[in-house]
Amino acid sequence: MGRSVRAIDLGEPFRGSEAVAAGVLTAAQLRGPAVRRVFQDIYVPSGIPDTHELRCAGAALAVHSDSVITGRSAATLRGVPLARAKDPIELLVPESVRVFRRAGLDIRRTQRRGDESQPWGRIGLATPLRMGLDLLLDRTLPDAVADLDAVLRAGLVDRAQLRRVLSDRHDRGIVQARRAEELADPRAESPPESRMRVWLVLDGLNPEPQYWIEDSRGRLARADLAFPEQQVAVEYDGAWRNGQLWALNHDRDRLNRVQAAGWEVVFVTAPLLANPKQMIATVRAALARR
């Protein structure tokens, strides 16, 4: 009973069946407003904010003890928030373990070495190197590159070590994973910027990330992507840019100076980025005008 009381008092996930069996809560209270369910039989007090980290802790109570949190979930636990609160928890489970599918869990059965994880509660957390591998396997190139850009920028993954791991493995999707590593660039400052760059590179273009535009008075703005020869900048126009010092979409005076310096700026919105062919055509049209 003491264990269940402490878990509830501390705001940690707990098993509803254990709390009821210990007399800490009644079955009716589990259905009431004081607690909320995050997974089958896993609950937290209602006042605790819903985060991906909290759901990882809940998943640790719900899955086999040989499970390992990996991929975007592991990156989030390590301080790079790639996963949103209700995104599925990404897990590795040994092939010998019988898996019961649960909503909210993304489980992949695969063999792994003992040195590819470290203890995390009653389960495991993938090492940064294993996490980096799983960020790339069976992912679309833009998404894989965007996530790898983020963890490389944060210094979580040693790129040379990751490249060696990729060269030695033969997992399903490893060829595309190697290509994603080749396309990664830690200079990228947001996932949309990474995705824009990947789509443009795959179409044969070669934009330069985080390029400083200057005039006679010095630096004007740092463009997400730039084609310096044609003086075309490509900027993601999204909410993540709010409050950023160099955000051209919120600083019209700076934008006017950039244009006066001879640059054309292409703003890519979320709907345009969701239509890669149209986004590429828009950028190519700007390049053609130059």
* Average pLDDT of the residues of the chain: 90
User: pLDDT per residue over 46-90, tens digit each?
Assistant: 989 999 999 999 999 999 999 999 999 999 999 999 999 999 999
Domains recognised in the chain with CATH numbers: 2-45 (no CATH), 62-131 (no CATH), 133-186 (no CATH), 208-289 (3.40.960)
Residue 100's pLDDT band (cuts 50, 70, 90)? confident
Cα→Cα distances 249→48, 88, 187, 216, 258, Å: 36, 33, 20, 22, 12
* pLDDT above 90 (res 112): no
Run of H or E residues at 39? strand 35-39
Q: How many CB atoms lie within 10 A of CB 285?
A: 10
* pLDDT above 60 (res 1): no
pLDDT for the residue 250: 60
Q: Between residues 111 and 108, which one has the greater pLDDT?
A: 108
Quick one: what percent of the chain has pLDDT higher than 90?
72
Run of H or E residues at 118? strand 117-120
Residue 5's pLDDT band (cuts 50, 70, 90)? very low
